[in-house]
Structure 1
Amino acid sequence: MVTNDKIVHISTWEIVKLHFFSFAYGLYLIVKRFLKWAWDPTRFFMMQQRDKPPPCLVDNNLGTHSYVKIKSIKFHYVEAGDKDKPLILLLHGFPDCWLSWREQIPCLAEHYRVVAIDLKGFGDSDKPSTKRSYKIEILIEELRQFILSLGVKQCSIIGHDLGGLLGWYLVALHGDMIYKFVIISCPHPNFYWNRMPGDSVFDSKWIHFSRLPFLPEIDALKEDLSIINDTFQHLQLDQTNTGKNYVEAYKYAFSRKEDWTGAINYYRNLPFIRLNTESSEQIYTRTLFIIGNMDPLITIESIVQSSEYVEKFSVKIVSGAQHFPHQQKPDVVNKAILKFFMGTTNIIEKTPSKSIMSSWLGSLSNTVKYSNHMFDTVHKKTSGVVNGLPSKVLYLGQTTS
């Protein structure tokens, strides 16, 4: 069933497969969690009371905290920079909030008006519990209205993970409103769900599990929100108290069951839709992909596939970064973003350069299979820039960094 000329539902067979995977992986994780609970039941249900927000969530050092109601939904956002300058809207990922952009806001605010929003279901924004509230048409219309409520008709977007996914839909459906688009750790919606298998926190097994009712919320709260510890390991490596304070801020933001229901509802809806690339035009919004070369969730193949639907794009590989390059390597990411926004149009590359492609192949720490079609696509879009590559690449072995 087509909901609009650019958004389509997946086939009945694919829906059946998704429900099967939800049941299968759900059963697998339930058994796994049960064994863990049986081994140490006290620790499994341990939960620290968190009634007071950490200072970093509520102070005004990074910007002014404000609220606006869009179609009866309250949105919280943090704003910095001159209101007369071009607007950049920051869309965080999962599980996250506006604080995700703490390293980008001061840097960007020197040159732009910056707004970091708490997406619906996250942070201090409203968290409706019904799954219907998170249908893509509703989400995108609310974001469109939010942009207009800021008194502008056009802005640029930087989106990470889930925020990048919403950014893709915004650009596809309301491209006239988006001047430039920066995507961090997020492929095109049609490839977003092709996550790497393995033991990552939010790998394909957990994504399938998340579509079940009730159980994912309970799982997220186990062991005093150990899921937050696992997601933000890079913050816990901080030898100062700063990283620990941010981890506590995230735990406060996700300390209740209802803090997870809204956020997980995105994953109960969005896997069942795609962008109709057959009938829709290419995306002409100038786009920058930023990915960490050690990302455990995103494949290089998905980035190559995504580029096929974008007319003008650049790619920045962040060495030594995983799924949160804007937090793990903020200086590198900020420099790339500013160059993209402030440079002239001839800086924007049509396709990845040789050095980028070399970085892809040399830095990849996961086994990836490429089809000939993928490389034919890259060759076509690069006008021969990958001539140095073999015509057929079937296997990339693991490498050490």
Structure 2
Amino acid sequence: MVRPMTFAAFVSISVLGSAFAEEPVGLDPYAPYPLAQITDDIRYPAAQPPQGTVSRHGEIEYLAKNVFGTHWYISANDAVWHLVTAGDPDDETILFVHGHPDTWWSWHEVMALLADDFYVVAVDTLGYGQSDKRLELDLSYAGVAEGLEALMDRLGIGTFNLVGHDRGAVIGDHLVARESMGGRILAYLRMQQSADQPHGLPRPAHEEMASAEFHANENVIYGMFESDYYSVDMPQSHRDRAHWEYFFPGTAEAAAAQFSHAGFDKELEFRLAEVFPRMTMPVIFMQGAHDPGQRPEEYWRTAQVVPNGKVQIVDANHFIQAEKPKIVADAARDLFD
């Protein structure tokens, strides 16, 4: 893959202490990359990036609102993970886990809103973005959750707050259900994934999504922005960046392999038996009121099933963190504070 134009000449390390008004003048925050500069603070040991990736270990990228993130490649549980961090590592950590068809970048504005008070960590889950996509890895949701636990160990992070969206919430559920994780998740913001009731209609066709051809469709990202699952008209540069982040080599095959493990009824049974009994931490179940594929009634008894749970129906569609990042950031701050 050819590395896209960078803006290394635009800024030096010294600019990190300067104050931009809102966005740096003349900088498109959605273009890969808004910034390319290697940090002097190489905090984590580098792993060899997976084939076909373009970020560099320690590379700085402008996120939003005067906040810069740093790209890392870290080996954990026999896989290489790509992640982006921002904020002070001495602050309490928030781990962001994206869904489908998303990457770490879906969180960039939420990260910027929270980095003043939290150490924010957004991963590309295995099979997506610039993380490992080898099909011999355990790409099931349980396998990805096991890898995330190992990744947090490698980062030296003991306890943390968790935010999961869509399929990322399924991965988050598996993380909650791991006995070895007892006490490590301080609070959980769980977004856009059915709770104590079956997923309503229409349901995404997981059988079709177990095919690599489905994910290789060049219109999968652009079609998402134009579908009923979005209620905000995103700039074209935003769409292009989301498309670019998703279509790294191997994503279609890895995503298909992961969806071969998916099943709404099986996941409901798992939540009721294994996840909810271990949800002893405070939990917010966030649901967009205008999501055509999920209904508020899927959370009908959630607050009773999860004693520390709260259902929050918000004025948004499915991709809340991209449409209205402040809603997510405010909910996270209230919950985690």
Query: Shorter-normalised TM-score: what interval?
Result: 0.7 to 0.9
Of Structure 1 and Structure 2, the greater helix share is in 1
Closer/same/farther in 2, CA of residues 109 and 64 from structure 1, 3 Å limit: same
Aligned residue number for residue 293 of structure 1 = 289
User: Could you tell me how far apart the structure 1 residues matched to 2:233 and 2:293 are?
Assistant: 20
Q: In the aligned structure 1, how far is the partner of 2:285 from the partner of 2:189? A: 6
Q: Counterparts of 2:271 and 2:107 in 1: how far apart (Å)?
A: 31
Instruction: Return the letter of the residue paired with 1:283.
Output: M
1:282–1:311 Cα contact (<8 Å) kept? no
Deviation at 1:250, TM superposition (A): 2.4
Partner of 2:104: 98
**Whole-angstrom distance in 2 between the partners of 1:313 and 1:236:** 28
Show the 5 A alignment for 1:376-395.
none
The answer to whether 1:255 aligns with 2:250 is no
Equivalent-residue separation in structure 2 for 1:297 and 1:111 (angstroms): 34
Q: Aligned residue for 1:43?
A: none
Question: Which aligned pairs between 1:46-85 and structure 2 lie closer than 5 A?
Answer: 51-53=2-4, 54-56=32-34, 60-62=61-63, 63-85=69-91
**Structure 2: distance between partners of 1:133 and 1:340:** 32
Query: Is the CA contact 2:105–2:245 (under 8 Å) kept in the aligned structure 1?
Result: no
Q: 2:256 aligns with which of 251, 257, 264?
A: 264
Q: Structure 1 residues 284, 259: closer, same or farther in 2, change over 3 A? A: same
User: Which residue matches 1:176?
Assistant: 183
Indicate the SS of the match to 1:298. Answer: coil
Aligned letter for 1:55?
Y
Cα 1:51–1:236 change in 2 (3 A) is: farther
Paired residue secondary structure (2:88): coil
Deviation string, structure 1 residues 328-352 (Cα, Å, up to 9, x no partner): 122222222212222xxxxxxxxxx
Task: Name the CA distance, whole Å, in 1 between partners of 2:94 and 2:259.
Answer: 26
RMSD between superposed Cα atoms in Å: 2.5
Identity %: 25
CA–CA separation in structure 2 for the residues paired with 1:69 and 1:325: 30
Q: Does 1:237 align with 2:229?
A: no
Q: SS of the residue aligned with 2:73? A: strand
Q: Equivalent of 1:121, from 101, 108, 127?
A: 127
3-state SS, counterpart of residue 55 of structure 1 = coil
Question: 1:317 Cα shift?
Answer: 1.8
> Whole-Å Cα distance in 2 between the matches of residues 236 and 221 of structure 1?
25
Query: Do the aligned residues in 2 keep the contact of 1:180 with 1:285 (CA within 8 Å)?
Result: yes
State the secondary structure of the residue aligned to 1:61. strand
- Give the corresponding residue for 1:226: 219
Tell me if structure 2 keeps the 8 A contact 1:71–1:142. yes
Aligned to 1:90, what secondary structure does the other structure show?
Answer: strand
Which residue of structure 2 lines up, in the alignment, with residue 317 of structure 1? 313
Q: 1:336 aligns with which of 307, 327, 331?
A: 331
- Alpha-carbon distance in 2 for matches of 1:104, 1:254: 19
- AA at the equivalent of 2:245: A
Q: Which runs of 4+ in 1 moved over 6 A?
A: none
The answer to whether the 8 A contact 1:89-1:157 is kept is: yes
Question: Deviation at 1:160?
Answer: 0.5
Determine the C-alpha separation between the residues in 2 that align with 1:318 and 1:279.
27
Partner secondary structure for residue 65 of structure 1: strand
**For the Cα contact (< 8 Å) 1:318–1:329, is it kept in 2?**
no
TM-score (ref. length: structure 2)? 0.73
Q: Provide the aligned length of Structure 1 versus Structure 2.
A: 273
Paired residue secondary structure (1:103): helix
The structure-2 alpha-carbon separation of the partners of 1:86 and 1:302, relative to structure 1 and needing over 3 Å to count, comes to: same
User: In the alignment, is the contact (CA less than 8 A) between 1:221 and 1:257 conserved in 2?
Assistant: no
Decide whether the 8 Å contact of 2:186 with 2:281 is kept in 1: yes
2:299 maps to 1:303: yes
Superposition map of 1:347-386 within 5 A? none
Gaps of 5+ in 2: 5-31, 35-53, 64-68
Aligned equivalent of 1:144:
149
Displacement of 1:218 in angstroms is 1.9
Corresponding residue of 2:207: 208
Please say if residues 196 and 298 of structure 1, whose CA atoms lie closer than 8 Å, have aligned partners that are also in contact.
yes
Answer whether contact 1:254 1:260 (CA < 8 A) is retained: no
Paired position in structure 1 for 2:8: none
The question of whether the paired residues in 1 share the 8 Å contact of 2:103 and 2:246 is answered with no
C-alpha distance in 1 between matches for 2:260 and 2:114: 33
